[in-house]
Amino acid sequence: MESLMEYPSSQIAGRFKEFWTRHEANNRHLWSSRIAAQFVRAYIEGHKIDPSTTIKTFLRENLKAQLHRNINIRHYKGPYVEGVKKRVEVSVAHFLDDLEGISSDLMYESVVVNEIRALELLLKAVFETVAPYVLESDSVQPNTKRMISQRLTKVSGNERARVGLNELSSLLPNLGVVLDSSTYKREENPLLSTKINEISCMDSVSMWREVRNLIIHHDGKVNKRFRDRWSHIYLAILGDRIPTSKVLPVGAPLLIRLRNVLYCMTTCYQTCVVLYVALGGSRILGTAAY
């Protein structure tokens, strides 16, 4: 792969540092929320607290007076119950269910969205940094220069603009070859017991961008395009096997479990590493911590 060592190393490294900071924050938020929920559940079960106990009573009996007064639960409302004209008071059982939702379903969606956003910001920043140097190169064909110049004009200064890996491949042709041929790799503690040989790094990033779009624009529900393109791979990640006949049903909620989130984060990290090396990086900014 061609090296871009002649480009300003500090400028390139700074872009990857930003990704790594966001990536690490996602990892901390994911695990801290899970630990907090598990700690509270372990405390409640360890003290044999009745699940029907109200949250007010639970806090009053298990915290010192000063700490209890510092916790504002006025806006923490219980659910409506059919046949009851007002909300029921929040119980310990409600509290545990809410914590589980925050530390799993909502957190998983949040991590996927934020991780893909971090990668997209990196791709856009790298494109804006590298494109001007490519345009100055005598080895680039005029037609290619014209396309890159037009795209750079649309991307620069546009916060909503997105840059795909295929566009970076137009700047670095050999990069596309590597991303399109490299499969998901995780030598230690592999997520999948069965290899999925047909999915490349390029494909994996595309899939997770589609997952992000489902979460944001389709209420997290499967559409026909996602079902037809990604069902076999997504179900393989979810169930650690490749189903032969199952597909994700259109309109059904897309199941996102911890293993899916870890796969997403590792995919983005691997893509970052490939880009970093392609741009002349001599070492990896940090290490994956999953």
Which backbone phi and psi does 287 adopt, to 5 degrees?
-135, 145
Please identify which residue in the block is written with the tokens 């603009």.
Answer: 161
Give 112's pLDDT tier (boundaries 50, 70, 90).
Answer: very high
pLDDT tens-digit profile of 182-232?
Answer: 555 444 444 444 445 556 778 888 899 999 999 999 999 999 999 999 887
Q: Which two tokens stand for residue 183?
A: 């499969």
Nearest to 87 by CA among 76, 100, 99: 76
Q: What is the rounded CA–CA span in Å between residue 267 and residue 184?
A: 7
What is the rounded CA–CA span in Å between residue 283 and residue 140?
Answer: 28
pLDDT at 39: 93
If we measure between CA atoms, which residue out of 47, 48, 45, 49 comes closest to residue 37? Answer: 45
What is the pTM (predicted TM-score) of this model?
0.81
Closest listed residue to residue 104, CA positions, set 270, 280, 258, 224: 258
pLDDT of 111 over the 70 cut? yes
More confidently predicted of 196 and 238: 238
Q: How far apart are CA 192 and CA 124, in angstroms?
A: 31
Tokens 């529900």 — which residue? Answer: 221
pLDDT digits (tens, 9 = 90+) for 118-169: 999 998 888 888 888 778 877 777 887 888 888 888 888 777 888 888 888 7
Q: What is the Cα 158 distance to its own chain's centre?
A: 23
Give the residue among 209, 204, 202, 254 at the shortest CA–CA distance from 227: 254
Most confident of 75-79, 157-161, 255-259: 255-259
Amino acid 142: pLDDT? 80
Q: What is the DSSP string of 37-66?
A: HHHHHHHHHHTT--TTSBHHHHHHHHS-HH
Considering 89-98, 173-182, 189-198, 231-240, the range whose residues carry the highest mean pLDDT is 89-98
Q: What's the one-letter identity of residue 4? A: L
Q: What pLDDT is stored for residue 49 in this prediction? A: 93
Per-residue pLDDT of 14-50, as tens digits, reads 888 889 999 999 999 999 999 999 999 999 999 999 9
- What phi and psi, each to the nearest 5 degrees, are found at residue 80? -75, 145
Terminal alpha carbon distance of the chain? 28
Is residue 112 within 8 A of residue 215, CB to CB? The reply is: yes
Token pair belonging to 22: 């966001």
Contact 151, 167 (CB under 8 A): yes
Q: How many helices (H) and strands (E) does the chain have?
A: 11, 0
More confident residue, 89 or 216: 216
Q: Is the pLDDT score of 102 beyond 80? A: yes
If you average pLDDT over each of 53-67, 98-112, 138-152, which comes out highest?
98-112
Give the pLDDT score at 196.
55
**Lowest model confidence (mean pLDDT) among 8-12, 112-116, 199-203, 205-209:** 8-12
What lies within 8 Å, CB to CB, of 171 at 6+ separation is 127, 130, 131, 134, 148
d(CA 49, CA 151) in angstroms, rounded, equals 61
